[in-house]
């Protein structure tokens, strides 16, 4: 796997942990984060032994978001482009930065975000792209961009309404306020709150392992059907899943499930890539 100064990929059987690894800066997102994230996700996507991945952070905080000072120093000419060609460079930079978080959302492999302490700005963009989110009880979340004169542009404004509703999203985005882990649980941003980081990591790995034991073709299908259904009518979603199952239902794992049911034995899925 290609190394990155910001990330580390750790494999535990059929689960990968994508570590944010800039703890001395509370995982503030400098250029290597945005540059390397698409490649990190592609490495996970390309490994058939990885069935699910966890996004976690080393150090005291998940992420304090964009490293504004370092980023502005590095890209000051782009931020302050005077004419249209300069503005276009900023537009292209924003699109480039969106690629990594989009890659997590679009990955065929499910992802679980584990949040401790701070999850600010870009950190919230990152976790909103994951399929499942857990937090430790000391976690706090903030869609902070409005407090630093930025309209959030990495996905929170587009994805959070489907997770927590339009009203909660507007309140977070317009105020830039912090919310606690308990508040995040109540609004559905996270689905589990644990006592500390150790129990958070254990809970995330338990869920990831449970997912990884299911048929990978089915997990891909579930995620694809759910993502496709956003913005669609129920009828459109039902038609799409009917087409999916008409094409993909009769898999090796489906036949294994039927055989296990008939023989009263628990089927073993993904035998070609399973790591015991």
| pLDDT of 138 higher than 90 | yes
Q: Identify whether 111 is part of a domain.
A: yes
Q: Distance between CA 275 and CA 14 in Å, rounded? A: 6
Question: 80 to each of 66, 67, 76, 145, 154, how far by Cα in Å?
Answer: 18, 17, 6, 18, 20
Name the pairing type of β-strands 118-120 and 140-142: parallel
Q: CB–CB of 68/31 below 8 Å? A: no
Q: Which of 133, 25, 14 is nearest to 70 (CA)?
A: 25
Helix (DSSP H) and strand (DSSP E) numbers for the chain: 11, 9
Interval 80-119: pLDDT, tens? 877 788 788 889 999 999 999 999 999 999 999 999 999 9
The pLDDT of residue 58 is: 98
Domain enclosing residue 250, as ranges: 215-263
Is a pLDDT exceeding 80 seen at residue 256? Answer: no
User: Do 198 and 245 sit in the same domain of this protein?
Assistant: no
Residues 70 and 130 in one domain: yes
Pair (90, 137) in one structural domain: yes
Is 127 found in the same domain as 18?
yes
Do residues 236 and 172 share a domain?
A: no
* Residues whose CB is less than 8 angstroms from the CB of residue 166 and which lie 6 or more positions away in sequence, other chains included: none
| Beta-carbon-side half-sphere exposure of residue 268 (alpha carbons within 13 Å) | 6
Are 206 and 220 within one domain? Answer: no
* Residue at token pair 């239902």: 249
- Diameter of the chain measured on Cα atoms: 72
Residue 276 lies in a domain: no
Once rounded to an integer, what is the mean pLDDT over residues 134-148? 96
- Both 242 and 166 in one domain: the answer is no
At 249, is the pLDDT very low, low, confident or very high (cuts 50, 70, 90)?
confident
- Whether pLDDT at 1 is above 70: no
Q: What is the mean pLDDT of the chain?
A: 93
Whether residues 146 and 253 share a domain: the answer is: no
Instruction: Kindly tell me if the per-residue pLDDT of 29 is higher than 70.
Output: yes
pTM of the prediction? 0.94
Residue 3 has pLDDT above 90, yes or no: no
CA dist 138 and 238 (Å) reads 40
Considering only residues 200 and 260, tell me which one the structure prediction assigns the higher pLDDT: 200
Q: CA 120, CA 123: separation in Å to the nearest integer?
A: 5
Domain assignment of residue 106, yes or no: yes
Among the residue ranges 113-117, 238-242, 247-251, 256-260, the one predicted with the least confidence is: 256-260
**Residue 233 predicted with pLDDT over 80:** yes
Is 78's pLDDT higher than 80?
A: yes
Q: Determine how many CB atoms are found less than 10 A away from the CB of residue 185.
A: 19
Domain count, the chain: 2
pLDDT given for residue 257 in this prediction: 73
∠ at Cα 216 (213, 221), nearest 5°?
A: 130
């Amino acid at each position: 796997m290609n190394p990155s100064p910001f990330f580390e990929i750790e494999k535990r059987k059929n689960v990968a942990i994508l570590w944010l690894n800039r703890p001395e800066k509370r995982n503030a997102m400098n250029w290597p984060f945005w540059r390397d994230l698409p490649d990190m996700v592609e490495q996970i996507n390309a490994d058939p032994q990885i069935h699910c991945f966890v996004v976690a952070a080393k150090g005291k905080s998940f992420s304090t978001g964009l490293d504004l000072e370092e980023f502005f120093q590095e890209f000051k000419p782009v931020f302050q482009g005077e004419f249209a060609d300069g503005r276009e460079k900023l537009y292209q930079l924003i699109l480039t930065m969106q690629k990594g978080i989009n890659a997590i959302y679009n990955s065929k492999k499910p992802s679980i975000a584990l949040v401790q302490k701070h999850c600010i700005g870009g950190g919230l963009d990152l976790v909103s792209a994951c399929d499942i989110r857990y937090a430790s009880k000391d976690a706090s979340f903030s869609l902070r961009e409005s407090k630093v004169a930025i309209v959030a542009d990495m996905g929170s404004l587009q994805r959070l309404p489907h997770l927590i509703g339009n009203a909660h999203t507007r309140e977070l985005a317009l105020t830039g306020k912090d919310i606690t882990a308990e508040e995040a649980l109540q609004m559905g941003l996270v689905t589990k709150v644990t006592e500390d980081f150790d129990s958070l990591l254990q809970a995330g790995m338990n869920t990831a392992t449970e997912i990884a034991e299911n048929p990978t073709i089915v997990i891909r299908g579930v995620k694809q059907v759910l993502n496709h259904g956003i913005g669609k009518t129920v009828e459109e979603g039902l038609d799409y899943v009917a087409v999916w199952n008409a094409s993909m239902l009769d898999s090796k794992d489906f036949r294994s499930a039927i055989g296990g049911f008939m023989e009263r034995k628990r089927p073993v899925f993904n035998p070609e890539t399973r790591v015991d």
